[in-house]
Amino acid sequence: MSAFRAGSTAGPGRAARAAPAGEALAHLSGDLRGAAVRGTLWSGVNVAVATTVSAAVFLLAARLLAVEDFGTVALALAIVAALGCLVPVAFGDALVQRAAIAPRHLDTVFWACILASAALYAVLAAGAGPVARWTGHPDLASILPVLGLRLPLDAAAAVPLALIQRRMRFRQIALRTTAANLAGGAACVVLALAGGGLWSLVAMHLVTAAAGAVVLWLSAGWSPGFDVTAGAWRDLRRFGLAAGGLRALDELRLDQLILGALAGPAMLGLYYFARRLSQIATDLTVGVVNPVASVLLATVQADRERRRRAFAMGGFAAAAASFPVAAGLLALADPAIPLLFGAQWAEAVPAVRALAVLLALAGVGVIQAALIKGCGEAGWWFRYQLLQQGLNAALVALLHDHGLAVMMWALAAKTALLWPLSVRKTLHLLGAGPAPYRDSLLAPAAAAAAMLAVLLLMPLLLPPLAAWALLGLQVAAGAAVYAAALALAAPASLRVLLGALSQRRAGLA
């Protein structure tokens, strides 16, 4: 940390700042396996705390707020996210991926993000009234200028986050996420209980962004200078633009914009609810593996054999985590959603089931994405995601009149049909046949299938029970069956994974 501070306070001169910072800015080079396992452990802590807080807040908000409140805020978030795609925060990914960086790269990315976010916020604040009138949602006139403050907050956090990720210091990321979710969740709960309505959701998103930015700045130990150069921008441009395109596809939320404009806040509220529930499930599973896999696969990009081993380990871990949650959502969405969140959300059940299929694909896709981008092929991944998101927007526009269920299952089918394209690219980068890829998924898939069968059969075989009691028994039995089946199907893989975790557990201290 001291190297970063020393580099940033020596003045804007390039030579004065580059020398002490050079070693500190390098990728982690020693004990990558230990760092990856420690990172996974900290990602697990991060996800466990953050997801618990998010799920509790989401549960309470869903019970206290109307479906239309969720829809209005979802539309506002989509508008802010669309503008946020023009802020070059994805150049932080280029700072992580590039083998060697200097302080001028950090300064250039930081000031580009700050200036772009300030300009875009001014546009958003000035246009909030016209947007509200055009969409027919009057609340947007007051919501957008407040929620739009996320633009400069996210921009300010881009470089500190990149520095922490580059050194695989996932404990700091866990601290940031925990603090941000606690602060945002507290703001949401207080306002919701006080009758704040949709403003409780606005406060949650804004406070979360602000708290996360503060923690990142305190953890990174870096402050910006003014060594902004065109050369530094050119160094990062190729990967940064591709990463920016990918981020735009993830953040643009064309589906929410189209639904908000064409179908109204009620349908958008149901859709947003299903998406949010799916995101919590994703964070709980592949969210543990993704941050570590992205940095690790970028670090070993030049060594094909190490790349294969890292991919095999990450693929098995991601599938083992995501497949049972997807199976649980498929089997239990119908009884669980009205019971937990209220009867007003029962219409979201078909969307949740369709998104469960996408969650199973995401369990593998997150590792594929990390491999492809880590090997410098972010442009290919951008084109693939552009195809996916473009078809998503088209299907939403064409099918929203046919109901939420038809639209969501069409989206799931489209994703599955395009899936072989990413598999083919993955196998090419690994330089291997399909067997290792297939073998890493067979055991989790078989165990999840056994779990799904048990969950579906239990209501038919058990005597009549209260809804809460039956749901609890299903969850407990499903978890036990999955764990036993996975242990029988892949004992060697589990031993390697659990052995590595147990050896490195002390590294959390």
Q: What is the per-residue pLDDT across 32-86, written as a single tens digit (0 to 9) for each?
A: 455 555 555 555 566 667 777 878 888 889 988 889 899 999 999 999 999 999 9
Asked if 72 contacts 143 with a C-beta cutoff of 8 angstroms, the reply is yes
- pLDDT tier for residue 170 given thresholds of 50, 70 and 90: low
CA distance 50 to 52: 6
Between 295 and 453, where is the model more confident?
Answer: 453
Q: Averaged over 426-453, what is the pLDDT?
A: 86
CB atoms within 10 A of CB 107: 22
pLDDT of 7 higher than 60: no
Segment among 14-23, 130-139, 262-271 with least mean pLDDT: 14-23
Using alpha carbons only, give the angle 253, 59, 357 rounded to the nearest 5 degrees. Answer: 50
- pLDDT tier for residue 451 given thresholds of 50, 70 and 90: very high
Q: Averaged over 126-138, what is the pLDDT?
A: 90
- pLDDT tier for residue 194 given thresholds of 50, 70 and 90: very high
Asked if 477 contacts 470 with a C-beta cutoff of 8 angstroms, the reply is no
Segment among 201-215, 273-287, 398-412, 495-509 with least mean pLDDT: 495-509
Q: Averaged over 465-473, what is the pLDDT?
A: 93
What 8-state DSSP symbol labels residue 347?
G
> CB-based contacts of 360: which residues, under 8 Å, 6+ apart?
322, 323, 326, 327, 448
- pLDDT tier for residue 378 given thresholds of 50, 70 and 90: confident
Between 279 and 332, where is the model more confident?
Answer: 332
Look up tokens 């002390």; give the residue.
506
Look up tokens 């907050």; give the residue.
153
**pLDDT more than 90, % of the chain:** 40
Helix axis angle, 230-251 relative to 378-399, nearest 10°? Answer: 30
pLDDT of 278 higher than 80: yes
**pLDDT more than 70, % of the chain:** 83
Q: What are the start-end ranges of the H helices in 194-303? A: 198-220, 230-251, 254-262, 265-284, 286-299
For 220-240, the pLDDT digits (tens) are: 888 899 999 999 899 888 888
CA distance 227 to 13: 7
How far the first Cα of the chain sits from its last, in Å, is: 18
Segment among 52-66, 184-198, 280-294, 418-432 with least mean pLDDT: 280-294
